[in-house]
Chains A and B, each alone.
Chain A
Amino acid sequence: MSSVSGRGEARKTGLRPWHVLVLLAVALVALSAAGDAFGRAEPTGSYRPALPGDTLADGCYPLPGGAVPDVPYVVRTDGDVATPDGERRHLVLHWSLVDIGAALDGITAPLVDVGYDLTEQAVRGDTATARLVLPGSPDADVAVTLRAFGDDPEVPDPIVRGRAELDLPSTPRVGTAAVCDWPSTTKRFPASDG
């Protein structure tokens, strides 16, 4: 039996594998106790980067009147696009946890709270639309289009429920927080606006 012959060799020298392990463990404890004497290591944490900010809630590029959707959402893309009516802002969100009707309400209600009038609202199956106008500001209209992600038998009760597109008046950068400098926060990526 090999293990027997292995042990036999060890017995000759008087040193067994577990002796080595105990010695190493003792050395490690001693080094740990003296560890402060050598200084402290500085991990970079590069594989768990800081979570980006939220361009709407952090006010980097806020919604009109500083409205913030009242539904769990993440911003996917943002940016200005040229339209026949001039520069318009095209913002794409993904909303979570609630159905399409509640999501539409969650996006429109905060805009109503800052002075918008809800002029149109429709929910048809997997699609929902709304239009909002700001009295006295003809260029400030907002159009909202929601599409629910279809039912997926693999994901019976999904967290992420659908995609919302907002057609908004163009907004300059407002927020000055450091997170607003990151494209990962603003989701304003070069040559991409969803």
Chain B
Amino acid sequence: MRPLSRLAGADRVLVVLALVHLVVLGWAFWLVGASPLHGDEAAYVDGGRALSNLLRDLGSLRAPDVAELSRSVVASGWFMPGVPILLAPFFLVVPDGDVEAVRAYLGLVSTIVLALLVWRARTVLGPRYAAALLVMPGLVPMAAAFAFAAWGDYLGGLVLGLLVVELVAVSRRVRAGAAPSLAQGVRLGLLAVAVVYLRSSAALVVVGLGVVAVVVCVALLRGSARVRSLGAAAAALGAFLLVLAPWSGAASAALDGRVVTTTSVPTVLASTFGDQDRICRGPCDPDSTRWFAPQRYARETAAATGRSELDVLTEMSAYAREDVTPRSYSRDVIQNAWSYVKAPDRFLRWLEAPDDAAGLTARYLSRGLVWVAFGVGAAVLLVVVRGARDLQVLATLLTLSLGALMSQPFVHVSGPRYWTTAAPLLGLGGAMLLTWWQGRRGDGPPGGAVVADPVTAAPSDPVLAGRDAAFGTWLTRVQVLLAAGTVALALGIGAVAVLG
């Protein structure tokens, strides 16, 4: 009787939090629902329009408008079309849908994905983790506003959360001596490529997680299970590449060069770390932005020479970065990291949320909650979680993912939007740390903790149990290494920035 009532209680909390999340969504929509598209949102929405025309043409058995797709979906190859793909069905039905309708539709999609993540977290990790997600990002008005925005950062973060949860499920199976199924492999591959489509800079995270998953399978499994796990890995990779290929192919063809995910890397590096006055082999045209002006120069040069604009961009970037020193680089990284964290609510203003009491409350509430979450993130990176193996697995996955997401300031000017990709991981991290803390204090596994699941305990088979114990030792080593690496990197960057 007791577990049942406990579960019902936990689910009651989930229902209340979900309702509060809906209120926060309504609040956010009231603040930004009718705001004009801001910056790159225009590009994503444009891509959605063009893709809807592609569907129309295919549905009517006409040749697609390749020029339109090239111009509005590939454009300059900066943004992968995750959000445009999601928007295509909307524009198929409402070709001239106004901004409010676009935002409402995106909010619906985001909310469905969040619900899916909460449901999977509840099933795999327990109600506590589901509740944590409904707090972070669920309670943050800024995150709710991003649910109505056309950037892929927030949605990409939700799918990344799904990927991490699925990996925990797979780890249990592997620890019990069974290979992941082909279907699981395909599912992981599809989630991974969805993350990349929504947020191409998260490619590092998903590739890293994929490599780790394969290494763990090979290390823990023996015989035919090991071979089958490689089959699942091949299925994951196959699904990933199959979905990635249309984009890579289309972008490469449109831009006459090799594009895998995005073309923006050279310009981003040049603009972030290089000399602005050298990017166009001198200053760029003053009538355009730091992103469009170099692009124009590259296209003009490509047109004059018959070479690929991508090659021109690579060359421009190298030239602009000639004078980058360890000191200038370190200072830029610190500057980027500061931009990443300093004003997580900034987009409420950029999305023209009113400056009245409701707008200001949303801003300060968002800032407070996200700053607390940043503290949680730092703790996840630094704390070495021992104890229940399942918790160790989750902790290591979260540390790896957050660490890889934090590569952003090392390669890109950062802004107050990037935290949204990390937000679901920060939510899961909070629940993980709480569970770990209670375990340390000997409070026992509380309701909803991962350890309540019988599979999470050590396997009963002595051989498997031995391997599982060794796995735990390795997880601890990896976590110590990651924590030490984080500290060393932070100190190193700081030292070079000051002394270099």
Tally of A interface residues using CB under 8 Å:
49
Contacts of B300 in A (CB 8 A): 51-52, 74
Is the beta-carbon distance between B319 and A44 smaller than 8 angstroms? no
Contacts of B301 in A (CB 8 A): 72, 74, 94, 96, 159-160
- The docked-state distance in angstroms from the alpha carbon of A38 to that of B307 is 41
Is the beta-carbon distance between A74 and B304 smaller than 8 angstroms? yes
Q: Contacts A43-B68, A51-B303; is A28 near B285 (CB within 8 Å)?
A: no
The stretch of A116-124, A133-141, A150-158, A171-179 that contacts the partner chain: A150-158
Is the beta-carbon distance between A39 and B95 smaller than 8 angstroms? yes
Contacts of B453 in A (CB 8 A): 2
- Is A33 in contact with chain B by the CB < 8 A criterion? yes
- The docked-state distance in angstroms from the alpha carbon of A152 to that of B315 is 10
Is the beta-carbon distance between B78 and A47 smaller than 8 angstroms? yes
The stretch of A58-66, A83-91, A107-115, A183-191 that contacts the partner chain: A183-191
Is the beta-carbon distance between A155 and B42 smaller than 8 angstroms? no
Contacts of A52 in B (CB 8 A): 296, 300
- Scan A94-105; emit 1 where CB is below 8 A from any B CB, else 0: 101100000000
Is the beta-carbon distance between A47 and B318 smaller than 8 angstroms? no
- Is A1 in contact with chain B by the CB < 8 A criterion? yes
The SS class assigned to the B binding surface is: helix
Q: Contacts A38-B95, A159-B315; is A48 near B71 (CB within 8 Å)?
A: yes
Q: Contacts A31-B89, A31-B93; is A48 near B76 (CB within 8 Å)?
A: yes
- Is A6 in contact with chain B by the CB < 8 A criterion? yes
Contacts of B319 in A (CB 8 A): 149, 152, 154-155, 158
- The docked-state distance in angstroms from the alpha carbon of A189 to that of B77 is 28
- Is B335 in contact with chain A by the CB < 8 A criterion? no
- Is B288 in contact with chain A by the CB < 8 A criterion? yes
From A1, A72, A187, B176 is in contact (CB under 8 Å) with A1
Is the beta-carbon distance between A149 and B281 smaller than 8 angstroms? yes
Contacts of B58 in A (CB 8 A): 32
Residue of B at shortest CB range from A17? B187
Is the beta-carbon distance between B304 and A35 smaller than 8 angstroms? no
- The docked-state distance in angstroms from the alpha carbon of A34 to that of B58 is 11
Contacts of B95 in A (CB 8 A): 38-42
From B56, B96, B288, A36 is in contact (CB under 8 Å) with B56
Q: Contacts A52-B296, A154-B322; is A41 near B285 (CB within 8 Å)?
A: no
- The docked-state distance in angstroms from the alpha carbon of A68 to that of B305 is 15
| B12-50 contacts to A (CB < 8 Å) | 40, 42-43, 46-50
- Is B282 in contact with chain A by the CB < 8 A criterion? yes
Is the beta-carbon distance between A48 and B281 smaller than 8 angstroms? no
Is the beta-carbon distance between A1 and B72 smaller than 8 angstroms? no
Residue of A at shortest CB range from B297? A74
- Is A131 in contact with chain B by the CB < 8 A criterion? no
In addition to A44-B46, A45-B75, A74-B301, 14 A-B residue pairs with Cβ atoms within 8 Å of each other are A3-B184, A32-B55, A39-B95, A40-B56, A40-B95, A41-B91, A43-B46, A44-B42, A47-B75, A47-B78, A74-B304, A96-B305, A160-B301, A184-B296
Shortest 3 CB-CB contacts between residues of A and residues of B: A32-B59, A35-B56, A41-B49
